[in-house]
Structure 1
Amino acid sequence: MSSPEFTIEISPKVARIWKTFPPLISALLPHSEDAYASPLSEEALIRKLVEGHSPTILLPTEIRDWPEDQPLHSDLTPRTPLASGRYQRQIIDSLTPEQLCKSVGSHPDAVALKAGLLQLHDDLDASHRSSQSIEGRGRHQAGDYWHAIMHRREPDYSNSKYWFRHVGEHPIFPQLGQYSASIATEFNHPQVSDWSLRLQQGKNDWNPMTFVDLAQSTARTPGPLQSFAQRLQRREMWLLLESTFQDVG
């Protein structure tokens, strides 16, 4: 099954995803209908990838940064999983870590990857089942980080902080601090600027406890501050998914 049997043409807005992750993982992530083009239906394409078929991936010349609009929603406290990803969630939940990743050097991180994929689909319960099964394990305790995110979104803010204390320092923290500073200038809003500075007052320029406080303060209040928190959360999950995948190998 090593020869290419079908093609997938990737949109520039999700090219970073398909360049970073294998086709199966990329296809299992939530996306808009125009994220890629294939002669197969989405379900048929995923079935082919699960079976081990190798597509030709047509990436655009332009590889943009992590998408700002994928997933389509980044609710701080989602009530239900994304309706559009029901089939993808079923597949993610059914696959073993070894089926999801071709090479598994760290089994706990492969389980954490499942937790992350499900979290991006807003399936908090299924994500929780995976993350809590690998407590304290993994190269950077990615499962505990996904566990903390799940409780922050549940929301159970004190429990989220408990799990962030388990995580300690994480390699994505400096990037989150830099991203916070970068997008805060776009909002040009005093509250956003204040929270951005507070978020960066931690080791490696990021304080996850402060982010929990921000999420709690704005979860039910639409406006610039909530939009700021949603963008931070989306970037946090993309960076953590990338880091988790790297730790699997």
Structure 2
Amino acid sequence: MTDFSVAKYGPVFESLIDPSRDVAMDEGFVNQDLYSALQATTVGNAFTDIVVDEDFAASCISGAWLWNDFLDESHTISQEIYTTTGSFWHGIMHRRECDYSNAKYWFRKVGHHEVFDSLAQETIRLAKGEDKYELIPGGNWDPFAFVDLCQQAGRGDSSVLAYCQAVTRVEWELLFDYCYKRALGE
């Protein structure tokens, strides 16, 4: 289980990220109450420490928009981050809007990401020690297989949906934490 605690990311992100919020596998329902706060969030005011990498900082902001189901706003930010991490957020966003082929395009641009190893471990843990959906062939996270599984979940298989939601939450938490730490040079 990830040790995700929103409080460690400072008061701005703590106010924007409700860990009890259900994870959407599609476009979700925007949390309109947070729109103004999200819109006011910048690299300059979101972090309590000195930012040393603006792309990773912007990735955190993109992730906060995505967490609250503002896919277009997340997309606007992530498509301007020309890194594997920007492509990762971009791929998640397209997977969420059920544009599966476009999601795969962006995951191809990601290649192997540092978060994939932790994500593979957490995915096995969530499946009680087995790779029951074949997301980790040869021990490596396969984002394309996960896109396919999310597409299957979207067709109404409730057990697959619950598993995909759990993996999506962990994926978001791991990627956000990774971006936050890199933004601060950790």
Tell me whether the two structures share a fold, i.e. TM-score over 0.5.
yes
Corresponding residue for residue 117 of structure 2: 174
Equivalent residue for 1:151, pick from 94, 109, 122: 94
Question: Pairwise mapping of residues 10-159 of structure 1 onto structure 2 (< 5 A)?
Answer: 16-18=5-7, 20-29=8-17, 31=18, 70-82=19-31, 86-102=32-48, 103-134=50-81, 136-137=82-83, 141-159=84-102
- Segments of 5+ residues of structure 1 without an aligned counterpart are 1-13, 32-69, 187-191
Corresponding residue for residue 158 of structure 2: 223
Alpha carbons of 1:237 and 1:121: their partners in 2 closer, same or farther (altered >3 Å)? same
- 1:24 CA displacement: 1.9
Moved more, 148-157 or 161-170: 161-170
Cα deviation per residue 1:208-229 (whole Å; 9 max; x = unaligned)?
1111010011113142111001
Determine the C-alpha separation between the residues in 2 that align with 1:217 and 1:74.
Answer: 17
**TM-score of the aligned structures, taking structure 1 as reference length:** 0.67
Q: Contact 2:6–2:13 at 8 Å: present in 1 too?
A: no
Corresponding residue for residue 66 of structure 1: none
Question: More helix by proportion, 1 or 2?
Answer: 2
What is the SS of the residue equivalent to 2:79? Answer: helix
Determine the C-alpha separation between the residues in 1 that align with 2:128 and 2:53.
Answer: 39
What is the SS of the residue equivalent to 2:137? Answer: coil
The residue type paired with residue 242 of structure 1 is: D
Alpha carbons of 1:15 and 1:161: their partners in 2 closer, same or farther (altered >3 Å)? closer
Determine the C-alpha separation between the residues in 1 that align with 2:34 and 2:72.
Answer: 15
Determine the C-alpha separation between the residues in 1 that align with 2:152 and 2:169.
Answer: 18
The residue type paired with residue 15 of structure 2 is: A
Cα deviation per residue 1:220-240 (whole Å; 9 max; x = unaligned)?
314211100110001100111
Select the structure with the greater relative contact order (CA < 8 A; seq sep ≥ 6): 2
Q: CA RMSD in A?
A: 2.1
Identity over the aligned pairs, expressed in percent?
A: 30
- Segments of 5+ residues of structure 2 without an aligned counterpart are none
Q: Contact 2:152–2:160 at 8 Å: present in 1 too?
A: no
**1:194 to 2:132 alignment:** yes
Question: More strand by proportion, 1 or 2?
Answer: 1
The residue type paired with residue 86 of structure 2 is: G
**TM-score of the aligned structures, taking structure 2 as reference length:** 0.88
Alpha carbons of 1:149 and 1:183: their partners in 2 closer, same or farther (altered >3 Å)? same
**1:243 to 2:181 alignment:** no
Q: Contact 1:93–1:114 at 8 Å: present in 2 too?
A: no
The residue type paired with residue 24 of structure 1 is: V
- 1:73 CA displacement: 1.4
What is the SS of the residue equivalent to 1:166? Answer: helix
- 1:142 CA displacement: 2.0
What is the SS of the residue equivalent to 1:76? Answer: coil
